[in-house]
Structure 1
Amino acid sequence: MPQKDEGAVHQEGGSAPPHGRRPYHAPQRTEAASKTRAAILDAATRLFLEHGYANVTVPQIAKLAGTAVPTVYASTGGKGAILTSLIEDGLQSTAAGETLALLRQTDVPREVLTAAAHGTRVDNEQHHRIVRVMVSAAHTDQHAAAALARANQAYREALAAVTQRLRELKALRPDLTPTRTTDILWFYLGHHCWHGLVVEQGWSWDTTEEWLAQQVAAALLSP
C-alpha cells in the first residue's frame, strides 16, 4: 500500500490539499558547478602542457584550480577522465559542421579546398593546446591513446567528406582513389601539419592556412 505523502496532508474542514512540491531549481549552483569544472579543465591543460601528462597529479590540478581533490573527482573524474572531457569538448566544435555545409554550397573545387583549409584551421587554432596534450600523453597513457585515436578518426571522417565532394565535382586527378585522396588531405590538413608550421616554426595562422590550401589543391586537383 503506498505511503501517505506528508507534503499533501488534507487540512481539517475538507479544504483542498496544497499543491505538490515544485522541483527545486538552483541555477546558481549549476553555474558554480560549471565554473568549477571549467577551472579544473583549464588548470589540467596548463599543467599537462608545462610538465607532461604523466608527471601531473590530481592534487596539483586541484591546487591550481583552487578547489579540493574530492571536488575534482566529483566534477571531472581522474586524469584519464579529465583528458577525455577536454577532447570531447573539442570535438563538439561547430566548425566542422559549418565547413561541411560550405562544401555543399559550392561547385568550385578550389573553393571546396579553401573551405576545408579554413575549417581545419579554426578547429586547430581553438584546440591546439588540447591536441598537444593528447599527442604527448598518448605515448604513456592508454586513455590518452584511445582518445587520440577517436579524435583522429573523427578528423579523417570530416576529410573524407571533402574527398566525396571533390569526387562529385569530378575534380580529382584520375590516378587518385578515395582513400589516397583522404590520406593526402590528412597529410596537409591534419593537426600535425598545423602544429609543425604554427607552433614549431612560428608561422601565422593566416599564412599557414593560405599555404596549405595552395599545396593541397596542387596535390589533388586535375590540371
Structure 2
Amino acid sequence: MTSSYHSPRRADAARATRAAILASARAMFLERGYADVPVSDIAKGARVAIQTVYVSVGSKAAILAALLQPAIGSPILDETLTAVAATNDPGEVIDRTADGTRRANELHWDMLYGLFRHAPAEPAARQVHHDAVTAYLAALRTVVDRLTDLTALAPGLTPERALDLLWFHLGQSAWFTLVGDRGWSFDEAQPWLAGAARHALLDPAPIQRVRRRDGGSPRTG
C-alpha cells in the first residue's frame, strides 16, 4: 500500500529530474556547442549527480537524441504526408512538402540549426545526426513516391535522382543556408524553395498526366 501510494511521487520526481537534465544540456549545447559540454557540467547545471544523468537519460549522445526527438517525431510529418497523399496536383505535392518542412524546421530551429548546421565530429553524435537525416530522407522519399505515382517527374529523372534534388531544395541544408546563413525569413525562403523544387523535379510539359486514385481518366492542369 505504501509503495503504491508513493509511486506516483517517484514517477513525478523522475520526470522532473529528466526534464532538468535535458534543460541543462539544451542550454549548454546551444551556448557552447555539443563537443564542449561534458556530462559533469550537465549534471551540475541540473543539480544532480553524474550517475543520475546516465540513469535518467543516458550518455551525452542519448541526451542529444532525446532533445531532438520532438523534431524527428513531430506530428507535422504525418500531417504533411497525409496531405501529400490526398492531392493529385504535383505542384501542390511540392508546396505541401515545402510547408511541412518549413514548419518542422522553424518550430525546432534553435536546436536544429544551432547544433546541426555543421555535422558533429563525435562518432556517437554523428550517429544521432545520421538517424535524424535518415528519417527526414524517408519522409521525402514518400513524397517522391507520390510524384512518381502521379507520373509527374521530369523526363529522364529517376526517383533516386528526384530524391537527391528534393533533399537539395527542401532538406535541412537548404533551410540552414537561406534562413540561418543568409538571413532570409521563413516566409521568403518557403516560396522560393518550393518554386525551385517544382522547376527541378516536375515535368515542364503544359499538360500533366495525373492518374486518379480511382483509375479514372487523366486530367489536365
TM-score interval for Structure 1 and Structure 2 normalised by the shorter chain: 0.7 to 0.9
Check if 1:153 corresponds to 2:134. Answer: yes
Query: Percent identity over the alignment?
Result: 43
State how far apart, in whole Å, the 1-side matches of 2:46 and 2:187 are. Answer: 33
- CA positional deviation for 1:211: 1.4
The aligned runs of 1:170-209 (5 Å cut-off) are 170-209=151-190
- Give the drift of 1:134: 4.3
C-alpha distance in structure 1 between counterparts of 2:148 and 2:190, whole Å: 23
Q: Matched residues in 2 for 1:136 and 1:65: separation?
A: 27
Report the equivalent of 1:70: 51
Query: Which one-letter code corresponds to 1:24 in the other structure?
Result: S
Distance 1:66 1:162 in 2: 45
Instruction: State the match for 2:109 in structure 1.
Output: 128
Tell me, in whole angstroms, the C-alpha distance in 1 between the residues paired with 2:85 and 2:120: 35
1:56 aligns with 2:46: no
What CA deviation, in whole Å up to 9, does each residue of 1:33-71 have, x standing for no partner? 223322322221221222122211122212333433333
Q: 1:89-140, CA deviations, whole angstroms, 9 ceiling, x for partnerless residues?
A: 432211111111001111111111111011111221223333342454622x
CA separation in 2, counterparts of 1:155 and 1:100?
Answer: 12
The unaligned stretches of length 5 or more in structure 1 are: 1-20
**1:23, CA displacement in angstroms?**
7.3
* C-alpha RMSD over aligned residues: 2.0
In structure 2, how many angstroms separate the alpha carbons of the residues matched to 1:137 and 1:211? 25
The answer to whether structure 1 residue 24 and structure 2 residue 4 are counterparts is yes
CA offsets 1:151-207 (integer angstroms, 9 cap, x no match)? 111111110111111111111111210001000000011111111111222211222
Unaligned runs of 5+ in 2: 205-221
